[in-house]
Chain A
């Protein structure tokens, strides 16, 4: 089992990420979109997929890689994905994106995407000052932001009628949620909530 476990984890991960992307790449809707819209859409899908990697990386269940270093690079990739997603959609339809950023969009899922976007930027900024804050407090703040990212992104993606397939999208979202809960449990993040962390051993 101990030898099979890493293989199973990697195989699940590769399938969970690649299948939704392959399904979306075969969507009929792409035929009616200009390239910048397609790129913006896939930046969103890739950003969603990266959310599955992050918790698994940080709790070290992905064997054979330098987890914290890769976690940072994936985080940076997530920031890039969000920027490409928003900038691309802005080119496709400026007024729709402006409405989203001003929290006045008619689409119910847009506001969740905007919240997740700001949480991504905040989490990335927080990552830059990791050494300067007490670790437990930092971890609590980082977890709060990443929970906002995951919940916001999942609701955002879930309710969009776009290129992604319904089943593969739902499975990916469910796995992301499970991975996040797993990581929060394993890291025992709530320890940061205790008043005196030194006494609470």
Chain B
């Protein structure tokens, strides 16, 4: 912090702006000094299948789950990280093996995996994503996410991971 002049107003404004950005799905580039780690979400681990294979795409495809994996604190993109994705889709339930697949991030820390359309399950259209330290070369803490889609008719889901060094 270069300005030690934080008032309640600036905090409220910053929080409001952050909520608006989050709600509108906008992505802001990494702010070098202030990148907070992504916490595991409640229910994120549900129906996880440890070690689901890396696949070209899950089932017939048509829906894209994308995102980035970065390091907390400095926001450096993390290449070659394994992200597992699963959901209730038009082709299967969450716990079905065929509903799971994993992919690796590229040199820019970006992952993209095609899968069948996610449909509402247990009352919400949502996906599951995992970064599992046990299936990686280590170095970062495990994170399980359960993002809810803004609309069930969305054909993509964008999710960012910010990992803490183990």
- Which residues of A pack against B, CB within 8 Å? 29, 31-34, 37, 89, 92-93, 95-96, 99, 104-107, 109-110, 159-162
B76 to chain A, nearest CB (A): 30
Choose, from B12-20, B60-68, B116-124, B134-142, the stretch at the interface.
Answer: B116-124
Would you call B9 an interface residue if the criterion is a C-beta within 8 Å of the partner chain's C-beta atoms?
Answer: no
Choose, from B87-95, B107-115, B156-164, the stretch at the interface.
Answer: B87-95
CB contacts (< 8 Å) of B27 on chain A: these are none
CB contacts (< 8 Å) of A37 on chain B: these are 93
Question: Residue B125 contacts which of A104, A109, A161 (CB distance < 8 angstroms)?
Answer: A161
* Complex CA distance for A96 and B93, rounded to whole angstroms: 13
Given A32-B89, A92-B93, A105 contacting B119 (CB threshold 8 A) = no
Question: Residue A104 contacts which of B42, B120, B123, B146 (CB distance < 8 angstroms)?
Answer: B42
Instruction: Determine the residue in chain B with the shortest Cβ distance to A109.
Output: B123
Given A95-B47, A99-B43, A106-B42, A159 contacting B89 (CB threshold 8 A) = no
Given A93-B46, A99-B42, A34 contacting B93 (CB threshold 8 A) = yes
- CB pair A32 B122 closer than 8 Å: no
A60 to chain B, nearest CB (A): 36
- CB pair B41 A106 closer than 8 Å: yes
Question: Residue A29 contacts which of B45, B47, B119 (CB distance < 8 angstroms)?
Answer: B119
CB contacts (< 8 Å) of A106 on chain B: these are 41-44, 146
Q: How many residues of B contact A (CB 8 A)?
A: 23
Other A-B pairs, 15, CB within 8 Å; known A31-B90, A32-B88, A95-B43: A32-B90, A33-B93, A37-B93, A89-B122, A92-B93, A99-B46, A105-B42, A105-B43, A106-B43, A106-B146, A109-B123, A110-B122, A110-B123, A161-B152, A162-B123
Q: Is the interface of A mostly helix, strand, loop or mixed?
A: loop
* Complex CA distance for A33 and B96, rounded to whole angstroms: 12
B124 to chain A, nearest CB (A): 6
* Complex CA distance for A120 and B120, rounded to whole angstroms: 27
Instruction: Determine the residue in chain B with the shortest Cβ distance to A160.
Output: B123
Among B47, B122, B124, B152: residue with most chain A CB under 10 A: B122
Instruction: Determine the residue in chain B with the shortest Cβ distance to A31.
Output: B90
* Complex CA distance for A162 and B119, rounded to whole angstroms: 10
CB contacts (< 8 Å) of A161 on chain B: these are 120, 123-125, 152
B133 to chain A, nearest CB (A): 20
CB contacts (< 8 Å) of A34 on chain B: these are 93
* Complex CA distance for A99 and B144, rounded to whole angstroms: 15
* Complex CA distance for A105 and B45, rounded to whole angstroms: 12
* Complex CA distance for A129 and B123, rounded to whole angstroms: 36
Interface string of B35-50 (1 = CB under 8 A from A): 0000001111111000
* Complex CA distance for A134 and B152, rounded to whole angstroms: 51
- CB pair B43 A96 closer than 8 Å: yes
